[in-house]
Structure 1
Amino acid sequence: MGVTVDVQQVFKYPFEQVVASYLRKYPSPMEKHVTAIKTMEEKTDLSTGIIYRRRIATCQNVIPEILRKEKVNFHLPGTECKMIQGCDSHFCSVLCALARRESRVSVLKVSDIYLEEESWLNMQERNMVMKSHCLTWTQYASLSEESVFSESLENPNWTEFIQKGRISITGAGLLNCVLEAFAQTFLNQGVKKGIRIMETLLQEQCGSPFS
């Protein structure tokens, strides 16, 4: 099992501007969950001109606090939840029961999550390929993304962005399906927010889009 996210977006800006904005995208006050990003390696293949980069992003743990507790105060349907204001009492009580039964949930109790991104920038062919994966919780979950920025076939002054992502959780026992449902919602929201941030940065740094 697992959840997938597929994205296709056209930015009405030239490839060089889009790539430059992407590489400066984080950290940003527009995205509080990404707290730092560090380039660990950068080199150029002299025979092809392709620039390789390896970066590590530090992100806040976005797993809901209720799913990170080793011991949860279970409450029955119809009673008030003391942890989540306005929660769906029945749904929350199910989470509480699952969390109490699964001791492995303690592995979720980390403050930061680390993601590794590798990219290959080919200025001659005007494309950049990126591959990302999660360095945290590797024994319990896998997260991978493959993305491409390339010159649009519709207009050479536009840039096409294609992304395919997948999360699979296999080591959390009864919480697998709950965590995957949360991951799918968070990924979908994150993709939309990421595109909005890119469009805002491009407009701020490059002005109005090309027609």
Structure 2
Amino acid sequence: MGVTVEAHTIYRYPFEQVVASYLRKYPSPMEKHVTAVKTVEEKTDLSTGIIYRRRIATCQNVIPQILRKVSVLKVSDIYLEEESWLNMQERIMSMKTRCLTWTQYASLQEESVFRESLENPNWTEFIQKGSVSIKGAGLLNCLLEAFAQTFLNQGAKKGITIMESLLQEQFGSPFL
């Protein structure tokens, strides 16, 4: 079956500032579950200027202890891979994220975009769409998907709040 999560917001800051803050967002004391982010590949296409990055995030396992009685769920860390394509000329950064842990049982995928707002060129629009699908866990499939949907919705809201805090901390009050 699967569940989906969507988020959309406008940051009242220029694209360059939003992207710079995003790339420094984690780890952060504001989000204890993300313990590390490591860039494992970065290259620039000389013909287009597009910067490609592949990063691996290490996150604490947030699955409730009661569900961790299932041996496959009994891991301390979860790994996510994020690929991004930053086009400064067109002022857009596209990202794809997927879970590297439990791939035989779960599919977690997310697509996000930061782009210059059509409403105001000094603002940045953020759009995020994600999905989670669990398989092979029998009756636990629906329970795990419901937990994932709740956690991801909260995570999306928290991520937006963290970005707002970082932007305000680094650049002051937003452009209006």
TM-score range, shorter-chain basis? Answer: over 0.9
Once the two structures are superposed, residues 103-143 of structure 1 have per-residue CA deviations (whole angstroms, 9 ceiling, x without a partner) of xx210000000000000000000000000000000000000
SS in 2 for 1:139: coil
TM-score after normalising by structure 1: 0.83
- 1:171-205 residue CA offsets vs partner (Å, 9 max, x unmatched): 21110011011111101110110000000000000
Report percent identity of matched pairs: 86
Structure 1 counterpart of 2:42: 42
Instruction: Tell me the residue number matched to 1:60.
Output: 60
Aligned AA for 1:3?
A: V
- CA distance in structure 1 between the partners assigned to 2:81 and 2:147 by the alignment: 22
Residue identity in the other structure for 1:110: V
Question: What is the alpha-carbon distance in structure 1 between the residues aligned to residue 18 and residue 73 of structure 2?
Answer: 35
The AA in structure 2 aligned to 1:196 is T
Q: Which residue of 2 aligns with 1:155?
A: 120
Give the CA RMSD over aligned residues: 0.4
Q: Does 1:115 align with 2:80?
A: yes
Q: Measure, in 1, the Cα distance between the counterparts of 2:150 and 2:83.
A: 25
Q: Which amino acid aligns with 2:62?
A: V
Query: What are the equivalent positions in structure 2 for 1:63-142 lying under 5 Å apart?
Result: 63-69=63-69, 105-142=70-107
- CA distance in structure 1 between the aligned counterparts of 2:121 and 2:94, rounded to whole angstroms: 18
Instruction: Give distance in 2, aligned partners of 1:188 and 1:146.
Output: 14
Q: Give the aligned residue type for 2:31.
A: E
Unaligned runs of 5+ in 2: none
Residue-by-residue CA offset, 1:16-74 (whole Å, 9 max, x unaligned)? 000000000000000000000000000000000000000000000000000011xxxxx
Partner amino acid for 2:156? V
Match of 2:173 in 1: 208
The letter for the 2-side match of 1:190 is G
Q: Which residue number corresponds to residue 14 of structure 1?
A: 14
Counterpart of 2:116 in structure 1: which amino acid?
A: E
Quick one: which amino acid aligns to residue 97 of structure 2?
Answer: S
Counterpart for residue 184 of structure 1: 149
User: 1:172 maps to what in 2?
Assistant: 137
Moved beyond 6 Å, runs of 4+ = none
What residue identity is the alignment partner of 1:174?
A: L
Larger radius of gyration: 1
SS of 2:49's equivalent in the other structure is: coil
**Whole-angstrom CA distance in 2 between matches of 1:162 and 1:173:** 33
Residue type of the alignment partner of 1:189: Q
Which structure 1 residue ranges, 5 or more long, are not aligned?
70-104
Task: Report which of the two has the higher share of helix.
Answer: 1
Report the AA paired with residue 59 of structure 1: C
